[in-house]
């Protein structure tokens, strides 16, 4: 008996990789990483407060805003001192570069930055502003301090962990919804009742949310490292090889468009897809580790599954996740291409739908293929337990003198009781016969309790039958 497979496992890695690559996390390890981290952290806080945020700064427009929040343009500057923070907003001639924008500064530097901006206004360095008190209308207090932003740019500290947790709390909600929908459809197609399908889908959706949350945090921490940056260089070489052909170039551009939700071409598409592929590799490894962690615990600490079973599950899970990642890339490109021909659908929607479909089908196919291969090499613990189960049940039928109808009733009860958890406990037990006997002894007792009450016959009636039998024997001997 197999456990219910969470279909969302095939999608987790690709979804997280795609979400992460929409941020500037790849720049956190660079010289200006603190500033990029501050932009992302402050934008996240705006979103958590329900504000509409458009991070237009990724277009790298000269003196353009970093983000627009509810229609207000914001330029974020984070340096180690208030003077450096404020001066970075002025050009070589000493004039304010960001007319019509708010200057967002570290929360711990806000008071000093206000005073410095007053001085700049008094010196006539801010065009169109005369009153120094208007500095408060130009300088905006950021949601994080300089030190917090610096920590967010690095891995392995409380600030970056809190930021990642907040970021992936949002994506966890999407994971729950998508997981529920996919698993509900899959269970209904398998013949489940609506009530059972809803119940199982909700449980699987909670698992998906937890997996997405943990995987997202772990992946984001890894991607802050210089090793991850090297991975981008390696994957970029591979993507550049692909784009040398017209067909390959179109595929890369469609994948980038599907991921970003907008048209991307040339080097920009190549760089984005390279980072996306690198992130998919990281998320696939992390996702496989997360979903296989319970099996590791069972094998290492409780002994409820064998190491052979753990190894088999690890390979099957890894194949499914990797197949899902590959399927997402192919599906996203195909979906974006189809969507571009239908204005009602659009590239972005087509890419999302195509990616989900590709990840699910690719992950399912890879899982089935790997399991089929390994089934011929390693017998599942559950199959082994089911094979020996009849011998363990035989003493119960003998001790309780079960009739044919009672054996059928007992078998019906076993259908609901023989779960993956039971089989793991059975595997773990040092005396499996005794474990099975103790597990179902009460069930047999309930069955025989339904037997009709029998009153022993009267002695005279028994004596009469015995007398008749004696007479029959004597007659036969004459």
> What's the confidence (pLDDT) of residue 77?
97
Nearest CA among 15, 19, 14, 5 for reference residue 317: 5
Q: When comparing pLDDT for 102 and 282, which is higher? A: 102
**Partners of 141 in the β-ladder:** 105
**Partners of 103 in the β-ladder:** 75, 139
**Partners of 75 in the β-ladder:** 103
> What's the confidence (pLDDT) of residue 407?
85
User: In angstroms, what CA-CA distances link 291 with 143, 214, 294, 305, 397?
Assistant: 35, 10, 7, 15, 39
Domain ranges in the chain are 30-152, 161-371, 381-447
Q: Which residue shows structure tokens 């260089």?
A: 233
Confidence of residue 462 (pLDDT cuts 50, 70, 90): confident
How would you classify the pairing of strands 72-76 and 53-54?
A: unpaired
* CA 307 to mean position of chain CA atoms: 25
Q: In what order do the strands lie in the sheet with 53-54?
A: 53-54, 67-69, 72-76, 102-105, 139-141
Q: What percent of the chain has pLDDT over 70?
A: 82
Task: Tell whether the model's pLDDT for residue 333 goes beyond 80.
Answer: no
334-354 tens-digit pLDDT: 554 444 444 444 444 444 444
62-74 tens-digit pLDDT: 899 999 999 999 9
Question: Which residues touch 26 (CB under 8 Å, ≥6 apart)?
Answer: 223, 228, 229, 232, 275
Query: Rounded mean pLDDT of the chain?
Result: 80
42-94 tens-digit pLDDT: 999 999 999 999 999 877 788 999 999 999 999 999 999 999 999 999 999 99
387-410 tens-digit pLDDT: 888 888 888 888 888 888 888 888
**Partners of 104 in the β-ladder:** 76, 140
Rounded to whole angstroms, the Cα distance separating 205 from 217 reads 18
Task: Tell whether the model's pLDDT for residue 160 goes beyond 90.
Answer: yes
253-294 tens-digit pLDDT: 777 776 666 777 888 778 777 777 777 778 777 878 887 888
Do 59 and 66 contact (CB within 8 A), yes or no? no
> What's the confidence (pLDDT) of residue 344?
41
* CA 139 to mean position of chain CA atoms: 39
> What's the confidence (pLDDT) of residue 368?
54
| Tokens, residue 447 | 């069955």
> What's the confidence (pLDDT) of residue 325?
58
Confidence of residue 117 (pLDDT cuts 50, 70, 90): very high
* CA 86 to mean position of chain CA atoms: 41
Rounded to whole angstroms, the Cα distance separating 189 from 186 reads 5
Give the angle subtended at the CA of 254 by the CAs of 251 and 260, to the nearest 5°. Answer: 140
Largest CA distance in the chain: 143
> What's the confidence (pLDDT) of residue 330?
54
Q: Which residue shows structure tokens 């979906």?
A: 335
192-226 tens-digit pLDDT: 899 988 998 888 888 888 888 888 898 889 888 77
């Amino acid at each position: 008996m197999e456990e219910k497979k969470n279909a969302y496992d095939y999608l987790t890695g690709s979804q997280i990789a795609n979400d992460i690559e929409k941020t500037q996390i790849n720049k956190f390890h660079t010289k200006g990483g603190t500033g990029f981290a501050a932009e992302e952290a402050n934008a996240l806080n705006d979103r958590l407060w329900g504000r509409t945020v458009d991070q237009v700064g990724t277009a790298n427009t000269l003196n353009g805003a970093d983000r627009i929040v509810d229609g207000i343009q914001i330029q974020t500057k984070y340096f180690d001192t208030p003077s450096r923070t404020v001066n970075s907003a002025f050009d070589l001639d000493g004039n304010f570069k960001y007319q019509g924008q708010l200057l967002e500064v570290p929360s711990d530097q806000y008071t000093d930055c206000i005073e410095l901006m007053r001085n700049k206004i008094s010196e006539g360095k801010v065009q169109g502003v005369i009153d120094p008190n208007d500095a408060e209308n130009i300088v905006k207090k950021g949601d994080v301090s300089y030190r917090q932003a610096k920590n967010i740019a690095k891995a392995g500290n409380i600030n970056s962990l809190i930021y990642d947790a907040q970021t992936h709390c949002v994506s966890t909600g999407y994971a729950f919804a998508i997981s529920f929908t996919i698993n509900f459809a899959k269970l209904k197609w398998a013949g489940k009742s609506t009530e059972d399908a809803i119940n199982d889908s909700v449980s699987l959706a909670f698992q998906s949310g937890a997996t997405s949350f943990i995987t997202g945090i772990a992946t984001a921490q890894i991607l802050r490292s210089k090793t991850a940056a090297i991975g981008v260089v390696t994957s970029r070489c591979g993507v550049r090889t692909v784009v040398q052909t017209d067909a390959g170039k179109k595929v890369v551009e469609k994948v980038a468009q599907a991921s970003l939700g907008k048209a991307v071409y040339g080097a920009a598409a190549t760089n984005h897809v390279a980072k996306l592929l690198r992130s998919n590799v990281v998320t696939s490894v992390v996702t496989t580790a997360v979903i296989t962690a319970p099996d590791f615990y069972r094998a290492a600490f409780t002994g409820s599954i064998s190491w052979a079973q753990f190894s088999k599950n690890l390979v099957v899970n890894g194949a499914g996740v990797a197949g899902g990642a590959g399927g997402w890339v192919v599906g996203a490109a195909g979906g974006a291409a189809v969507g571009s021909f239908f204005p009602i659908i659009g590239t972005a929607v087509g890419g999302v739908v195509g990616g989900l479909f590709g990840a699910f089908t690719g992950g399912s196919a890879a899982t089935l293929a790997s399991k089929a291969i390994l089934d011929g090499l390693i017998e599942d613990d559950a199959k082994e337990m089911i094979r020996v189960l009849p011998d363990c049940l035989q003493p119960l039928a003998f001790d309780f003198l079960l009739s044919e109808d009672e054996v059928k009733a007992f078998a019906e009860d076993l259908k609901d009781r023989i779960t993956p958890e039971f089989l793991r406990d059975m595997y773990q037990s040092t005396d499996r016969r005794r474990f099975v006997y103790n597990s179902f002894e009460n069930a047999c007792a309930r069955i025989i309790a339904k037997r009709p009450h029998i009153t022993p016959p009267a002695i005279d009636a028994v004596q009469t039958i015995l007398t008749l039998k004696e007479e029959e024997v004597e007659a036969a001997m004459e």
